Structure 1
Amino acid sequence: MDPITRRHVWDIIEEAKKGRAIVLTTHSMEEADILSDRIAIMAKGRLRCIGTSIRLKSKFGTGYIANVNFSGNGHAQSPNINGDAEAPVNPNIESVKSFFKERLDVDPKEESRTFLTFVIPHEKEPLLTRFFGELQDREREFGISDIQLGLTTLEEVFLNIAKQAELESSTAEGTLVTLNLSSGASIQIPKGARFVGIPGTETEEHPRGVMVEVFWDQDDNGTLCVSGHSDETPVPANVELTRRPSLSRRAVGRGGPVGYVIDENQVPTTR
């Protein structure tokens, strides 16, 4: 329905719920957040959590959202390679990005010429009072017009819960997906696996074979899908290979050889 009609329906529900218990099912996290006193999230046919919006965001969210807006008087013209003036840029943005990076070790999730959005993990909470106090003291220096801090959205909560449910289901069912490598070859990998060894890549130079880090994303329904992978790198010497599948047995699936999962705790450097 269009936004005006939807808002009208929300008003009707708000009025009708006084003195009553109404069970509302919806795929709109915004709708659930606005209308509900208690929210339950289901994934893969199971009830995964129930509680108030604030409780769910605190327990299952990724942390806090910080929005920093800048005044319009800090812009400067940025010349292109031909010496012509391009769109104005705000020199204060880089200063604020460095401020967040140095003190909280976070990078912006969204960025434009007039605002920055950061996601701050829960574990940084003890630092936030002092951090935002200092940031407010330097508002004029950084050209900041407004600072907003809040919990991550209910959409983030849903995606986190859906991801965990998908990982549980994929592990139990042994779900495999196809990973297309840069070389043009394809292998089958367990859904959700982060580090995967490529079978049949053992050489004199790399006697333990090579591996890739797999990057995953989620669609609007929370379903995991491959978004890319790193360059191929040698399997580290400390990685345990005793459970590696043999190509001489059932290590070949319909989409090619089946890669073997490498414990991310055994990989020295992670992304």
Structure 2
Amino acid sequence: MARSVSAHRALVAFFLPWLLHCARLEAAAEGTPPWFWPWPPVGGGDDPYCLSWRVMVEANNAKGWRTVPAPCVGYVRGYMAWGQYYRDVGSVADQAAAYAAQISAPAADGLDAWVLDVDDTCLSNQPYYQAKQFGAYDPVAFKMWASRGVCPGIPAMQWLFQTLKGRGFRVFLVTGRDEETLGSSTAANLAAAGFSGYDRLIMRGTGYRGQTSVAFKSAVRRQLAAEGYRLRGNVGDQWSDLQGGCVGDRVFKVPNPMYFVP
């Protein structure tokens, strides 16, 4: 009997770490922590330094960086996958919705509008960047990822999108994705992720290739303004989504410590 118990304990000791590791990976992919895992996640890096670095990123004081600092890869992984990121995005959505509620009812002419970015504002690329250890941007690899059309929707932004539509605002989705190669897959991905009923999906066409995000998105917003739209709000995960011309009456920055777009 004693030998049987010992053998059982040996099997548990051998398989349990592997089972916990698999469960942790599965939960991280779903964006929710398993019930048994402690907070904060193990391997989060130098948290005080990395927290300060993330604040500098969100405040737009850290510019031009190409990769997450090596000591902060674990920290960013934990931030993105273990709850705080989703709470932060939810707070942004709450503030944007509260602001929208303060605006008088959209005019009968239907020209009160909002602009939303797509990547890591509406659709999450977290699985892709986490698999690459938040390394330097690889346009070929990212295009292959985006063409699959499997980016999950970001729940708080799904709610904000529906809230804005429900209040009668026009909603334009503006993305730097290439229209020729990613147009159909992006539209299908948005529909599958709960972003149906937008007024227009505006992507980077051949005339805008090579331009910075600020230049491209400013040109798009100026065109919308020229069409008579009043841009009441502008939501994006990069400061380059929110800078330049015709940025709108108010901008809302979604957190993103995974990458920087000039």
TM-score of the aligned structures, taking structure 1 as reference length: 0.21
TM-score of the aligned structures, taking structure 2 as reference length: 0.22
Q: Could you say which structure has the higher strand fraction?
A: 1
Q: Which has the higher contact order (CA 8 A, sep 6+)?
A: 2
Q: Could you say which structure has the higher helix fraction?
A: 2
Structure showing greater radius of gyration is 1
